Homo-oligomer: A and B are copies of this chain.
């Protein structure tokens, strides 16, 4: 395996809320995504979701309050907890989650990316 440079990987795409897979470790996928605007309220019944922000501000809306992450900040959304990612300006973040994790859980919206389309870059 060659080392992975996140800035170089982020330069390869422009779409928002469209996770790209960059590595696999212990059955979990390391994904990066850009965010701007709002995704959709959803939860993952069986998977925790680790977020680390590298650029911008990622707000994770929860039913009982929001958490806003800047560069160098991380958060784990526990399985089953409803959340809605939001970013006012273009935001770059990394996720680590099991390969089974559906993009927007059981919710299907226009923004939903089919898990089989989450391409490696």
Interface residues of A (CB under 8 A from B): 1-7, 22-26, 28, 30, 47-50, 52, 54, 67-69, 72-76, 78, 94, 96-98
20 pairs, CB–CB < 8 Å, chain A vs chain B: A3-B69, A4-B75, A5-B72, A6-B74, A7-B72, A23-B74, A23-B76, A24-B76, A25-B97, A26-B28, A26-B47, A26-B48, A26-B97, A26-B98, A28-B28, A30-B74, A30-B76, A52-B52, A52-B94, A54-B72
Q: Is the CB of B75 within 8 A of A1?
A: yes
Q: Is the CB of B5 within 8 A of A25?
A: no
Contacts of A67 in B (CB 8 A): 2-3
Q: How far, in whole Å, are A74 and B32 apart by their CA atoms in the complex?
A: 12
Q: How far, in whole Å, are A49 and B25 apart by their CA atoms in the complex?
A: 7
Q: How far, in whole Å, are A79 and B97 apart by their CA atoms in the complex?
A: 18
- Of chain B, the residue at the smallest CB distance from A53 is B3
Q: How far, in whole Å, are A68 and B5 apart by their CA atoms in the complex?
A: 11
Candidates B2, B26, B73, B96; contact of A4 at CB < 8 Å: B73
How distant is A110 from chain B, measured CB to nearest CB, in Å? 28
